Amino acid sequence: MRALAILLLSSLSLISLPTHAAGLRFALVKTAETETRDAFTIEDGAWGEKVIANHVAVLIEHHAATLLLDTSLGRQVDQQFDAEMPWWDKPLLQYGTVTPVRDQIERDGIRIDRILLTHTHWDHASGLADFPEVPVWAPYEEIEFSQISTPPAVLPSQFKHPIKWVPFTFAAHPFMGFEQSHDLFGDGSLVLVPLTGHTPGSVGLFLTLDDGRRFFFTGDASWRLEGFTGPKEKFWISRRMVDNDREGTRAQLEKVHQLLQREPNLQVIPAHDEAVQRKLGYYPQWVE
């Protein structure tokens, strides 16, 4: 009887082995940083205060696949930028020295199975050309946006190679205050939600580690965590330049603001917020 119980227990533990996200971890792969002014990144910011804006991609290892959320600045960013960025936008969009994602991870033999894009703006899609063999997941609306939008937001040269698009739609499954979601592996560890506004198909990604710590990658809905805690919009010149739909973006700031009231332990990670990202460290350092 006891042997049977042990057998049962051990088979139960076998069954529960592939549970959610065994070994799930992520790393912020920083490709570049730029010094800018607090006031340029957020409404009511200080002109005298310098802040760093980061360019990162998020490397995610799930037991089923290795993913890259955004591609950040890639090997061809200088050619892309020089050829297509209007001269009057160039001074505001400088990015410093670049270490592309592919250069960093290839040294360690890491292969990407799938790319997810928070949105298709140039500084998130630049590295797509470095991974032509990898399927790229995005909502239909965002794939369409990448095909019709123009500089400075989207640089068409970044989409001229054959891209293995995998369009997806959201299901009517509420998650963390969002009415729709897309659970990537059906285990709740990686869940996409729509963040429409900054672009028509912007998405956010919730990542939940085994121990319950939960992170929310919010793309460019806000460049700063203060945009959600405020909530506060971007500086007006910046938002006119980059936010496709002001009201939509504002609604997302409000939604995440409410979420943070209910879930104060949730770690929100805007794509460019160096102060938030520095605390997590950068690849090859992992958050696990």
Binding site for Zn ion (CB under 5 A): 121, 220
CA distances from 228 to 30, 182, 221, 231 (A): 23, 22, 9, 5
Q: How far is residue 65's CA from residue 60's CA, in Å, rounded to a whole number?
A: 8
Residue 54 corresponds to which tokens in the numbers above? 């980061």
Residue closer to Zn ion (CB basis): 145 or 287:
145
End-to-end, the C-alpha distance of the chain in Å comes to 40
Minimum distance of Zn ion from residue 53's CB (angstroms): 12
Residue closer to Zn ion (CB basis): 55 or 255:
55
Residue closer to Zn ion (CB basis): 67 or 271:
271
Residue closer to Zn ion (CB basis): 104 or 149:
149
DSSP 186-198: SSSSEEEEE-TTS
Q: How far is residue 115's CA from residue 135's CA, in Å, rounded to a whole number?
A: 6
| Residue (of 55, 121, 3, 92) closest to 282 by Cα position | 55
Minimum distance of Zn ion from residue 124's CB (angstroms): 6
CA distances from 158 to 155, 217, 241 (A): 6, 23, 19
Q: How far is residue 201's CA from residue 93's CA, in Å, rounded to a whole number?
A: 22
Minimum distance of Zn ion from residue 242's CB (angstroms): 5
Minimum distance of Zn ion from residue 122's CB (angstroms): 8
Residue closer to Zn ion (CB basis): 220 or 233:
220
Residue closer to Zn ion (CB basis): 61 or 245:
245
Minimum distance of Zn ion from residue 134's CB (angstroms): 21
CA distances from 134 to 116, 129, 265 (A): 10, 10, 34
Minimum distance of Zn ion from residue 248's CB (angstroms): 13
